[in-house]
Amino acid sequence: MDAEIIGVGSELLLGQISNTDAQYISQKLSQLGINVFYHTVVGDNSKRLKKALEIAVDRVDIIITTGGLGPTMDDITKETIAEFLGIPLELHQPSVDRIENYFAKRGRTISQNNYKQAYFPKGSIILSNNHGTAPGAILEYNNKIFIILPGPPRELQPMFEEHVIPYLENRSSEKIVSRVLKIYGIGESDMEEKIKDLLIDQSNPTIAPLAGVSELSIRLTAKTSRNEDPFKLIQPIERKIRERLGDVVYGVDDDTLESVVVNLLIESGKTIATAESCTGGLIAERITSIPGASKVFLQGIVSYSNQSKIEILKVSKDAIAKYGAVSRETAEEMVKGIIKTSGADIGIAVTGIAGPGGGTKDKPVGLVYIAVADNKGFLTVNRYNLLGDRKRVQQSSASIALDSIRRALLNKKID
């Protein structure tokens, strides 16, 4: 089956909000083996919505609308669909009861226009909304399926999970599953060269390299009948890619560098502390964003000024005077200082010039030193010349630092 998603709302056209509903629904439909061929967005205008519906019914089996189910006059989705199909609206008493109960529980007075949300095209399957006042609906008409959903993601997503997915599962004979390999530490062209023959010979599963802001990914997608296991098709290709790329493949699906690092630290029973200059605490923030980080993260120090490096991390005045704050020597003393100060097993230190000012011919903007060490004598300091604006340099530095920890743990360089 083929589907089209129609987002209704002038705020989408004006760019005031992002159309995250379409992204979410597309991902879910692909898992059900339903092709999404079109995303359409129209404003709060009945005439233009009717035109969009006219085009959609001519080219897809499933039309999904999002938004326009509120109580105000510009919420026109249900009314327009009913007019387009020539079907009257009917009051759904259970929805009236739910809406009244919703307001009563919150001690609020219900407005007359809220009852508008309890009217649906005749023959609709009503989808209850446990997170708001706007129920959704499914309507089968002339071999087409209309799925009418509210716009707010906190309402739409639970409704989709609870009602729409079970409904569609009973009508799809296929399923599509994707597995995403997360990659860091290799360029896009180099990665493609290593798996070029696999890309040329691909069929099912498909192989799609994707470039992100600072890392890459490869999406493997397999399509099978509902009673088959698509991962049996994905696994052999995944093994080949991992063999070709090695440890630049750091995770899968929802993994991030920071989540992988935290999990490796937990598995190894190691603790970590950070000393940051140009990244301003970004590494610590990324680590502590992961649940369970409290088991391994002891301390993070933002030693932005030379004085703080000297007073807190015990970097020598001579090192800064002779080599500068952005130098291999200073990074080394910073990482040793954070291990001593915190008592952590592992330390990471970053110092650099994020820009836009502060660079010189010998030390240009984007110059960064990253040091990783442990409390048993392991120490490595690497120099990087990063490109981009201030934010990009900071983000890249944090990612490289996390990846440096990951590789040290994986390769058992940290004892």
DSSP state of 376: T
CA dihedral 166, 219, 224, 23 (to 10 degrees): 30
Q: Residue 415 above 70 pLDDT?
A: no
E-strand ranges in 83-184 read: 89-91, 119-121, 125-127, 136-141, 144-149, 174-183
Q: What is the pLDDT of residues 276-303, one digit of tens each?
A: 999 999 999 999 999 999 999 999 999 9
Q: Give me the helix-helix angle, 390-410 and 257-268, nearest 10°.
A: 30
Q: Residue 213 above 80 pLDDT?
A: no
Is it true that domain 2-169 has CATH number 3.40.980.10?
yes
Question: Residue 214 has what pLDDT?
Answer: 82
Question: Residue 43 has what pLDDT?
Answer: 95
Joined tokens for residue 241 = 């890619």
Read out DSSP for 236-269?
A: HHHHHHHHHHGGGEEEETT--HHHHHHHHHHHHT
Question: Residue 363 has what pLDDT?
Answer: 95
- Residue ranges of the chain assigned to CATH 3.90.950.20: 257-410
CA gap 30, 21 in Å, rounded: 14
* 106-142 per-residue burial string, b: 16 or more CB within 10 A, e: under 16: eeeebeeebebbbbbbeebebbebeebbbbbbbbebe
Question: Residue 411 has what pLDDT?
Answer: 83
CA gap 192, 208 in Å, rounded: 10
Q: Residue 412 above 80 pLDDT?
A: no
Going from the C-alpha of 363 to that of each of 114, 129, 208, 220, the distances in angstroms are: 64, 58, 39, 42
Joined tokens for residue 120 = 């649906």
- Residue ranges of the chain assigned to CATH 3.30.70.2860: 176-252
CA gap 230, 347 in Å, rounded: 42
Burial (0-12, 13-18, 19+ Cβ within 10 Å), 405? buried
Residue 204 phi, psi dihedral angles, 5° rounding? -135, 105
CA gap 290, 256 in Å, rounded: 10
Q: Residue 4 above 90 pLDDT?
A: yes
Q: What is the pLDDT of residues 296-336, one digit of tens each?
A: 999 999 999 999 999 999 999 999 999 999 999 999 999 99
Question: Residue 173 has what pLDDT?
Answer: 74
CA gap 204, 233 in Å, rounded: 7
Q: What is the pLDDT of residues 346-363, one digit of tens each?
A: 999 999 999 999 999 999
10 Å Cβ neighbour count for 387? 9
Share the mean pLDDT of the chain: 94
Is it true that domain 176-252 has CATH number 3.40.50.1370?
no
Cis peptide before 364 (omega within 30 of 0): no
- Residue ranges of the chain assigned to CATH 3.40.980.10: 2-169
Joined tokens for residue 109 = 């007075």
CA dihedral 325, 329, 335, 341 (to 10 degrees): -80
The CATH code for residues 257-410 is 3.90.950.20
The helix/strand/coil state of 100 is: helix
* Residue range 222-239: mean pLDDT, rounded: 90
pLDDT band at 7 (very low <50, low <70, confident <90, very high): very high
Helix (H) or strand (E) holding 22: helix 20-31
Q: What is the pLDDT of residues 44-89, one digit of tens each?
A: 999 999 999 999 999 999 999 999 998 988 899 999 999 999 999 9
